[in-house]
Amino acid sequence: GCPLTPLPPVSIAIRLTFVLQDWQQYFWPQQPPDIDALVGGEVGGLEFGKLPFGACEDPISELHLATTWPHLAEGIIVDNDVYSDLDPLQAPQWSVRVRKADNPQCLLGDFLTEFFKLCRRKESTDEILGRSAFDEEGKDVADITHALSKLTEPAPVPIPKLSVTNMVHSAKKKIRKHRGVDESPLNNDVLNTILLVSELSLHMDSENTWTSYTDAFAVALWRKWEKLANGSPDLRCCLLHQKLQMLNCCIERKKARDEGKRGSASDRSPGGASGDNPDKEKEFGKSWESWSDSEEEFFECLSDTEDLKGNGQENGKKGAKESVNLKPEGRLHPHGKLMLLHPGEPLYVPITQEPAPMTEDLLEEQSEVLAKLGTSAEGAHLRARMQSACLLSDMESFKAANPGCCLEDFVRWYSPRDYIEEEVVDEKGNKVIRGELSARMKIPSNMWVEAWETAKPVPARRQKRLFDDTREAEKVLHYLAVQKPADLARHLLPCIIHAAVLKVKEEEALEDISSVKKIIKQIISHSSKVLRFPSPEDKKLEEIIAQIMSVEAIIARARSLKAKFGVEKCENEEEKEDLQRFVNSLLEQPEVSVVGAGRGPAGSIIHKLFVNAQRVPAVPPLEEELRRSGSQEERRQGLQSEFPPPTGREVILRTSVPRPAPYSKALPQRMYSVLTREDFRLAGAFSADTTFF
């Protein structure tokens, strides 16, 4: 008969998969939160001044090891139910992937989520603390218009009795009359901790009287401490912070005015203040002498310009001749370089009023008012006059400090670019420097010219106040009084998100994960755009919180893997760097090859993990024992080499066969099969020569 055609060689690739689920031999390093405090609904489950971070449980649930023999010849191995030549330690290729825990509890993410829920609550302060919780018995509620005086007036009682702690404990006594002791939202220990930190802050920086409370609020919410700037409201801060800064400004202005009155009363002389005294501090102390707290004094400088026009000085030499004999007042110091054009005397820098500080909501309100004036000539003129209050005040101060001055003198000091100087040749042929006002200063009905004609020589201490601190303080206190707890949380939410971003950056710096660095940059870019607006959309805020939670989970998984692979305990620097790269690859890639397979540094550690897990096996149920009746025989034969039974087997058969006829071109053929405890699949990929068929 015909000779038999020899069968082509078959190449076999086998892959065994092992799953490690038992991490009992490793202690998860993350300290859990105070469950009793959190379950009890109390604030302060964690340390004050610090945001929580990390996972309460291991974020890595399983480790999958795939051992692969890519090229095995047919007939040289035995692999069946009772015996196997396939030793995982001898496999030439290892690869690993990790399975993440389903929804691990991460502290920072949970904190942000719960805080964001507070922003959506509808209860008022009265509904939480009880209506009229702070009302005094037998007395009407204090008028808010007297609040600033109470905040700044000298206290007749010892300072210790005015501490934050005593004031709040006094308030708590009143609250107990309206609600049960056990119903307080903060227990005594937590409240005392908050008061201790906030009171310490006030003692360390007594000038930041009210803005320090922003930090006290943030401490109660685990926000990081930060130095609060004194002075005008910082528009980069949240509106609540700006309001407290505004209140601080009002207190400082009121205190300075009161101190000036007391100082002027003790140092007053019949001749009055000397206009030639350059001592700024002394002049400032006397500058508030004639100011009043009456309601009639609280309007901008331009509110009575119509009455002042008839008494104002004219521009140029005429005004200079009329006022040259006036006594100078309100001088700060000589300019040093400039001289008055017409009298030829030194030009003095005047003491001026500080411009009124504004919060972002006041700026928005002012912009709306100015926009409603329209674009007509009358509206534009009115808009210019409303905006020139500070300019008029400075002109009056300048005239008082420099009798006989002219508009050109003021412009040379106030706006040098609007005074143009050039070198010319006079009648005698000498080169001299002459100057004149800029083109915009010469426009008819110029605001500067009108203001100069209206301005009278009045030093800053006798001018109407540009900044009505009493009225602004009342506005701030009323704003704080009507705030709901959810509104307060809304104001602090950008601060919390900012602190959370700083926290994840701090934690990432310890791990050095490139993928996390990229995500943090995205969070910063996204949050800076969203939080730029006063009322960001809830959906966008949820996206930012979700991004922060994902970063926290990645860092927690990195620490889990580093603990399991002993990265920090490795003494060999080269091996330590290899293990660090391996851990980072597991975080960023779905499956990672193990360098050196079972004989490399990472492979040795993986082998130990499986060995330790086998030493403390969990007791399987009876059905599992019956279903795996052959497992003891497998271990007796040394099938798994201290590894658990494989959860899956994958086999690939490859060969080249001429099809469909013996004289056809030999083409590759492939068959794939996978076998698990619950599944069996078989797939084939066959090719044929179609040249003649």
> Could you list the mean pLDDT of each consecutive 10-residue stretch along the chain, which spans 693 residues?
68 92 64 46 52 87 93 84 86 93 86 90 78 49 63 55 50 53 57 54 40 45 34 70 87 82 56 38 34 37 38 44 72 91 88 87 83 78 78 93 92 92 81 86 85 91 87 88 87 89 92 90 92 85 93 92 87 88 91 92 90 66 46 44 85 91 89 92 92 75
Q: What is the DSSP letter of 533?
A: S
What is d(CA 52, CA 50) in angstroms, rounded to the nearest whole number?
6
User: What is the reported pLDDT for 613?
Assistant: 83
Nearest to 652 by CA among 9, 13, 15: 13
Enumerate long-range contacts of 189-197, CB under 8 Å, 24 or more apart: 190/42, 190/43, 190/44, 192/165, 193/44, 193/48, 194/48, 194/219, 194/220, 195/164, 195/165, 195/168, 196/165, 197/48, 197/49
Q: How many residues are present in the chain?
A: 693
Which among 244, 494, 478, 243 has a CA at the least distance from the CA of 361? 243
Cα angle for residues 529, 532, 537 (degrees, 5° grid): 75
Q: What is the pLDDT of residue 368?
A: 83
For residue 155, what are its two tokens? 């206290």
Residues linked to residue 669 through DSSP beta bridges, in sequence order = 655
Please state, in angstroms and rounded to a whole number, the distance separating the CA atoms of residues 446 and 437. Answer: 12
Question: What's the chain's Rg over C-alpha atoms?
Answer: 41
Place of tokens 């055609």: 5
Work out whether the CA dihedral 361, 367, 371, 372 comes out positive or negative. positive
SS3 (DSSP) at 333: strand
DSSP 435: E
d(CA 659, CA 186): 83
Torsion of the alpha carbons at 180, 184, 189 and 190, rounded to the nearest 10: 180
> How many CA atoms does the CB half-sphere of 516 hold within 13 Å?
26
Q: Exposure pattern of 208-225 as b/e (b: 16+ CB <10 Å)?
A: bbbbbbbbbbbbbbbbbe
pTM for this one? 0.65
407-414 and 447-454 helices cross at what angle (nearest 10)? Answer: 120
Q: Are 653 and 677 in contact (CB under 8 A)?
A: no
pLDDT value for 315: 44
What is the rounded CA–CA span in Å between residue 477 and residue 456? 36
690 secondary structure, DSSP code: -
Q: Quote the CA–CA distance of 498 and 492 in Å, as a whole number.
A: 10
Question: In degrees, to the nearest 5, what angle opens at C-alpha 610 toward C-alphas 609 and 614?
Answer: 120
- Extract the tokens encoding 433: 């420097």
Which residue is listed with tokens 């104001």?
A: 491
In the chain, count H helices and then E strands: 24, 11
Tell me the three state secondary structure of residue 655: strand
Token pair 């003649």 is at which residue? 692
Neighbours of 693 (CB within 10 A): 9
Give the pLDDT of residue 8: 81
Check residue 40 and give its pLDDT.
Answer: 41
Check if the beta carbon of residue 400 is closer than 8 Å to that of residue 330: yes
